[in-house]
Amino acid sequence: MLYAAEGGGGAGGLTPILMIALLFGVMYFMMIRPQQKRRKEAEAMQSALGPGDEVVTIGGLYGTVTGVADDTVLLEVAPGVQTRYARPAIARVVSQADRSESTDQVVEDADVKE
């Protein structure tokens, strides 16, 4: 009689493992995956920064991008006042500069020099 009761417990041993696997699956889709997506979006936004973009830093400072280097961004926070920030310090872009006009200007300048 004892052997019959122990034999039916084999499926019960699998239940805790399935619950743990289900818990990890839920944590991945609810926490880890959205965080990775936000990180990729932030990296894409920071790599697309260019002169003329109006941005907000993580400290809440509004400024206009005047220069971009490998890992730093030069912001003009007031007329004639420029500060340098690390790229990850840029929280969001308020408005982007119209890049088509700036590339047209570069092309026109190149035509004039030739």
How do residues 17-39 score in pLDDT, each as one tens digit? 999 999 999 999 999 999 999 99
Average predicted confidence (pLDDT) for the chain: 81
Q: Which residue has the tokens 């030069």?
A: 74
Whether pLDDT at 11 is above 90: no
- What's the pLDDT at 102? 47
- pLDDT band for position 76 (cuts 50, 70, 90): very high
Q: How far is the C-alpha of 112 from the C-alpha of 114, rounded, in Å?
A: 6
Single out the residue of 105, 99, 63, 98 nearest to residue 81, CA to CA. Answer: 63
Could you give the 3-state DSSP secondary structure of residue 45?
helix
- Minimum mean pLDDT among 77-81, 93-97, 101-105, 106-110: which range? 106-110
- pLDDT band for position 103 (cuts 50, 70, 90): very low
The pTM (predicted TM-score) of the whole model is 0.60
| Secondary structure letter of residue 48 according to DSSP | T
